[in-house]
């Protein structure tokens, strides 16, 4: 359900004035847990596997809660029963336990500052700036960073980027690192849908696996 | 933990679920209270659109910084101490009289946290993600932004490792303003691309 680009039937975009970063303290706790607790890869894929109606009717941080729970259970860090037992204790009035780990807190702060980046090696990019490319029609099973609205569309390479792990396989295949070149590709919106005039341009970052030569 | 906290029972199912999860993570040694606190504190007090606004204002007054920002936005952010999670790779896209940029993430809610903070709910919501790629002029009009027909709209769908920030045009009538005053004109929405800076508008 998450692949929303171009879907119809949604109403106005409703902006909330003076919105705080977290609307409720529990949202901040979930953000902090997600950033600091390692329960394995697949953050987004766990959200994408949510039941569609639930996906659309729950909030961003409920999606995150779902992701931490799902991955923690699937990777064997805890069980559904552990969560239920803890919920019972909290509902009965027990406080959330506290645990101090100054080193983990230091690492958490460092993660939110400029930090060194890994570089990856991969075969030379197959496409160059200005090349016309076609987005694959057959999308991979599981997670993909190729939005469905682009399947089969033709675009022009606007920028070529240094290789990075293809997140399709990283997310779906338990953290498998398979670097490849990726590109910013420009698509005239009129080639995707009948659009309002004048037309506009959509620019999307796609890995080489999402493209074929035209 | 104060007495008040000790007896504060969760008020919503989400709060209960989050508290239960935190309990399990703490008891299994997978998380620590102070690390979670550090993240919450950073997003509530240090990281937010004021960071991006400082970069935009700097770019408006310093052509060499503008050039660095457009070439390597993460590097330009790091010069001011901003970076990290969801901003290791960033690109600034520049509005001109002929081009207006707007950012979205149709698959998820990718957003340049170090320079804009936590995305607003509308940015993460299905209507914006579904519609802005297909009918950007209609969406921008809902934000009160009407663009001339000859302005090309570029919608950047952040689907991979780059996070985008819009470098808006410096408004007319700001010639005498200091960098700090200029930063005050640059709202979060200007750097997403659903607004443009206006003199007299509050940041």
Give chain B positions within 8 Å (CB) of A61: 14
The answer to whether B92 and B167 are in contact (CB under 8 A) is yes
pLDDT in tens, A77-119: 999 999 999 999 999 999 999 999 999 999 999 999 999 999 9
Q: Note the pLDDT of residue A213.
A: 85
Could you say which of A4, A21, A39 has the minimum Cβ distance to residue B117? Answer: A21
pLDDT of B1 > 50? The answer is no
Q: Tell me, what's the pLDDT at A199?
A: 87
Q: How many residues does chain B have?
A: 203
Domain boundary assignment for chain B: 13-45, 49-192
Interface contact B23-A97, CB threshold 8 A: yes
- Residues B55-75: what's their mean pLDDT? 98
Q: What is the C-alpha to C-alpha distance for residues A52 and A48, in angstroms, rounded to an integer? A: 9
Scanning A127-156 for CB atoms below 8 A from B yields: 145-147, 149
Q: In chain A, how many domains are there? A: 2
- Residue with the bigger pLDDT between A172 and B42: it is B42
Cα separation, A199 vs A187, in Å, equals: 11
Q: Residue B162: CB partners within 8 Å, gap ≥ 6?
A: A161, A184, A205, B89, B90, B91
The answer, yes or no, to whether residue B2 has pLDDT greater than 70, is no
In this structure, the answer to whether residues A35 and A95 fall within a common structural domain is yes
Copy the structure tokens of residue B20. 């239960």
Provide the pLDDT for residue A48.
96
Q: What is the CATH number of the domain that holds A49?
A: 1.10.472.20
Tell me the nearest-neighbour CA distance from A131 into chain B, angstroms.
19
Distance, in angstroms, between B58 CA and closest chain A CA? 19
pLDDT for res B201: 58
Residue B6 clears pLDDT 80, i.e. is over it: no
Considering only the beta carbons, identify the residue of B18, B35, B127 that sits closest to A30: B18
Q: How many CB atoms lie within 10 A of CB B7?
A: 10
Residue A98's nearest CA partner among B34, B39, B41, B10 is B34
Q: Does domain B49-192 have CATH number 3.90.330.10?
A: yes
A118/chain B closest Cα distance in angstroms: 10
Tens-digit pLDDT profile for residues A130-171: 999 999 999 988 999 999 999 999 999 999 999 999 999 999
B chain contacts of residue A13, beta-carbon cutoff 8 Å:
122, 125, 127-128, 131-132, 139, 142-143
CB nearest A4 (choices: B29, B43, B129): B129
Judge whether B109 counts as a catalytic residue.
yes
Q: Given CB atoms, is A191 within the 8 Å cutoff of chain B?
A: no
Partner B contacted by A158 (CB < 8 A): no
Per residue in B75-104, pLDDT (tens digit) is 999 999 999 999 999 999 999 999 999 999
Same domain, residue pair A179 and A144: yes
Which pLDDT score, from 0 to 100, does residue B203 have?
46
Last residue of a domain, one of A111, A144, A168: A111
Task: Clarify whether residues A68 and A146 are in a common domain.
Answer: no
In a domain, A36, yes or no: yes
Same domain, A83 and A137: no
Q: What is the mean pLDDT of the segment spanning B121-132?
A: 98
Burial grade of A6 (CB within 10 A; 0-12, 13-18, 19 or more): buried
Residues of chain A found within 8 Å of residue B39, distances taken between Cβ atoms: 28, 31-32, 35-36, 108, 112
Taking the Cβ of residue A36 and every Cβ of chain B, the question of whether any pair is shorter than 8 Å is answered with yes
State the residue range of the domain holding A201. 132-213
Mean pLDDT within B168-180: 96
As beta bridge partners, residue B43 has none
CA distance A84 to A196: 50
Mean pLDDT (chain A) is: 96
User: For testing the chain A interface, which of B9, B16, B22 should be mutated: the one with the most A CBs within 10 Å?
Assistant: B22
What per-residue confidence (pLDDT) applies to A62?
98
- Spatial separation of the C-alpha atoms in residues A61 and A83, rounded to whole Å: 17
For residue A196, the model assigns a pLDDT of 79
Which of A71-75, B2-6, B37-41, B142-146 is least confident? Answer: B2-6
Query: Is the Cβ of A111 closer than 8 Å to some Cβ of chain B?
Result: yes
The partner residue sitting opposite B159, judged by closest CB among A31, A98, A205, is: A205
Region B56-81: what's the mean pLDDT?
Answer: 98
Phi, psi of A187 (to 5 degrees): -125, 130
Phi, psi (5° rounding) for residue A37? -95, 120
Mean pLDDT along residues A46-61: 96
- A207 to chain B, closest Cα gap in Å: 8
CA pair distance B28, B31, nearest whole angstrom: 8
Cα angle B83, B84, B88 (rounded to 5 degrees) comes to 85
Q: Which of A65, A100, A147 sits opposite B17 (nearest CB)?
A: A65
Q: How confident is the model at residue B3 (pLDDT cuts 50, 70, 90)?
A: very low
Show which of A82, A111, A140 is a domain's final residue: A111
How many CB atoms sit inside 10 A of residue B173's CB?
Answer: 10
Contact B83 A113 (CB under 8 A): yes
Paired residues of A159 in beta bridges = A184
If asked whether residues A106 and A140 sit together in one domain, one would say no
Which residues in chain A touch residue B37, judged by CB atoms under 8 angstroms apart?
32, 105
Cis omega (within 30 of 0) for bond into A198: yes
Residue A200 lies in a domain: yes
Tell me the average pLDDT of chain B.
94
To the query of whether residue B190 is one of the catalytic residues in this protein, the response is no
How confident is the model over B7-51, as pLDDT tens digits?
A: 477 889 999 999 999 999 999 999 999 999 999 999 999 999 999
Q: What pLDDT is recorded for position B200?
A: 78
Let me know if B108 is a catalytic residue: yes
Sequence-distant (6+) residues with CB within 8 A of B157 are A5, A147, A202, A203, A204, A205, B104, B105, B106, B133
What is B24-73 written as a DSSP string? HHHHTTS--HHHHHHHHHHHHHT-SHHHHHHHHHHHHH-HHHHHHHHH-H
Last residue of a domain, one of A79, A111, A143: A111
A16 within a domain of the structure (yes/no): no
Collect all residues with Cβ–Cβ distance below 8 Å to B130 and sequence separation of at least 6: A4, A5, A6, A7, A8, A10, B106
pLDDT at B10: 81
Q: What would the mean pLDDT of B100-129 be, rounded to a whole number?
A: 98
Chain position carrying tokens 């302005």: B151
């Amino acid at each position: 359900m998450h692949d929303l680009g171009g879907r119809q039937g949604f109403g106005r975009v409703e902006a909330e004035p003076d919105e705080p970063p977290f609307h409720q303290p529990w949202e901040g706790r979930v953000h902090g847990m997600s950033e600091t607790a390692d329960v394995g890869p697949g953050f987004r894929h766990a959200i994408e596997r949510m039941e569609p109606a639930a996906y659309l009717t729950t909030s961003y941080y409920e999606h995150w809660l779902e992701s931490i729970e799902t991955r923690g259970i699937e990777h064997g860090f805890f069980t559904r029963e552990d969560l239920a037992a803890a919920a019972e204790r909290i509902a009965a009035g027990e406080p959330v336990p506290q645990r101090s780990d100054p080193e983990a807190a230091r690492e958490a702060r460092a993660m939110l500052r400029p930090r060194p980046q890994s570089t990856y090696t991969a075969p030379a990019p197959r496409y160059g700036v200005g090349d016309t490319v076609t987005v694959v029609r057959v999308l991979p099973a599981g997670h993909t960073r190729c939005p469905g609205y682009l399947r089969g569309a033709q675009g022009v390479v606007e920028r070529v980027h240094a290789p990075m792990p293809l997140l399709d396989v990283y997310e779906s295949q338990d953290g498998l690192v398979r670097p490849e070149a990726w590109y910013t590709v420009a698509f005239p919106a009129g080639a995707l849908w009948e659009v309002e005039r004048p037309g506009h341009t959509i620019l999307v970052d796609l890995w080489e696996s999402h493209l074929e030569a035209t | 933990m104060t007495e008040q906290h000790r007896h504060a029972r969760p008020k919503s199912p989400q709060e209960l679920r989050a508290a239960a999860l935190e309990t399990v993570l703490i008891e299994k040694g997978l998380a620590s209270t102070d690390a979670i606190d550090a993240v919450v504190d950073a997003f509530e007090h240090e990281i937010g659109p004021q960071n991006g606004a400082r970069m935009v204002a700097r770019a408006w007054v310093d052509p060499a910084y503008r050039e660095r920002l457009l070439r390597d936005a993460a590097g330009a952010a790091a010069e001011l101490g901003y970076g990290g999670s969801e901003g290791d790779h960033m690109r600034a896209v520049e509005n001109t009289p002929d081009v207006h940029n707007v950012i979205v993430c149709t698959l998820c809610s990718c957003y340049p946290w170090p320079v804009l903070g936590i995305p607003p709910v509308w940015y993460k919501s299905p209507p914006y993600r579904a519609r802005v790629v297909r009918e950007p002029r209609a969406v921008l009009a809902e934000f009160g932004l009407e663009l001339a027909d000859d302005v090309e709209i570029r919608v950047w769908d952040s689907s991979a490792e780059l996070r985008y920030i819009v470098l808006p045009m410096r408004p007319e009538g700001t010639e005498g303003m200091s960098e700090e005053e200029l930063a005050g004109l640059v709202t979060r929405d200007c750097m997403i691309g659903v607004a443009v800076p206006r003199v007299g508008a509050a940041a």
